[in-house]
Amino acid sequence: MALAAPASLPLAAEKPVAEGAVLDDALAVEVRRIAGAGTRAGLPGARVEIEVGRLDPRLKLAPCAEVQPYLPAQTRLWGRTRIGLRCVQGPSRWNVYLPITVKVHTRAWVAAAALPAGSVLAAADLREAEIDWAAEPGAAYTQAEALIGRTLAHPLAAGAGVRSPHLKPRIWFAAGDTVRITTAGNGFAVAGHGEALTPGVEGRPARVRTEAGRVVSAEPVGERRVELTL
């Protein structure tokens, strides 16, 4: 994810970075720009909203003539996160982290009414609405077809986005079933059959005995189908 180099914002030398832990307006604008650019790079078309928090009021920061916002390493611009602020020109150099909340609004499928755990989803149980994808963990769904017939592992409130952790994993085959094994690589694809030694639970590797008698671990991907990664 490529971002433009962070801008350094000059502040009056006698003025601290924040008054009462609230950011200077120009600095808050730059923080939103950096966070928004990074988020939109991965989700084109989404409406991104950045809420800038407050610095810890207990901080005693020296006055700074130039403050530079930056994205800390390994920081994910999603939900509750942070942006770094460092003094690059002042009597005392300092570095602090500013809490921000990144909201990513886009359309997805939500529960049309309150649904108990164990519900098998039908088209009538779903409606499309704008949600904040960053508000909860787990992928949301943009295609209703991916949800029809799935069973809820947890109850859902009306209007709540349906996410992957809300669904029970599918069981694609049982131990003892004959499964189709596919393997793909750079410029080639191979297919064969084998015997499942463990159940094919979505999201968990299954043990399969190939026609040659070799026992391998493969990813269940569909009805009596597994993929083997080389």
What are the residue ranges spanned by the domains of the chain?
Answer: 9-104, 105-166, 171-228
- Give the pLDDT confidence score for residue 186 in this predicted structure: 78
pLDDT the model gives residue 44: 64
Tell me the mean pLDDT in the region 166-172. Answer: 93
Residue 12 pLDDT > 60: no
pLDDT at 2 over 50: no
Residue 153 DSSP code: S
Q: How big is the chain by its Cα radius of gyration, in Å?
A: 25
Res 124: pLDDT: 97
Structure tokens at 133: 């994808």
In the chain, where do the E strands start and end?
A: 9-10, 18-19, 22-23, 47-52, 66-70, 79-89, 95-111, 126-132, 171-173, 178-185, 188-196, 200-201, 206-210, 215-222, 225-228
Quickly tell me which residue has 């886009």 as its tokens.
Answer: 106
Q: What is the pLDDT, as a whole number, of residue 23?
A: 64
Residue 63 to residues 15, 23, 59, 88, 89: CA-CA distances in angstroms?
5, 13, 12, 11, 9
* C-alpha torsion angle, residues 15, 16, 19, 23 (rounded to 10): 110
Question: Averaged over 195-209, what is the pLDDT?
Answer: 95
Asked if residue 172 has pLDDT above 90, the reply is yes
Contact 146, 172 (CB under 8 A): no
Determine which of 3-12, 49-58, 99-108 has the lowest per-residue pLDDT on average: 3-12
- Give me the CATH code for the 171-228 domain, please: 2.30.30.760
Distance CA 206, CA 183 (A): 15
What is the separation of C-alpha 40 from the centre of its chain, rounded to a whole number of angstroms? 13
Summarised one tens digit per residue, pLDDT across range 117-135 is: 999 999 999 999 999 998 9
Mean per-residue pLDDT for 203-208? 94
* Contact status, residue 36 vs residue 94, Cβ threshold 8 Å: no
Which pLDDT score is estimated for 41?
53
Q: Among 35-44, 134-143, 219-228, whose mean pLDDT is lowest?
A: 35-44
pLDDT band at 67 (very low <50, low <70, confident <90, very high): confident
If you average pLDDT over residues 77-102, what whole number do you get? 90
CA distance linking residue 223 with residue 177, whole number of Å: 11
pLDDT at residue 198, as a whole number = 97
Q: What is the dihedral of CA 211, 216, 217, 218, to 10 degrees?
A: -30
Domain 105-166 sits in CATH at 3.90.1210.10
Q: Sort strands 66-70 and 9-10 into parallel, antiparallel or unpaired.
A: antiparallel
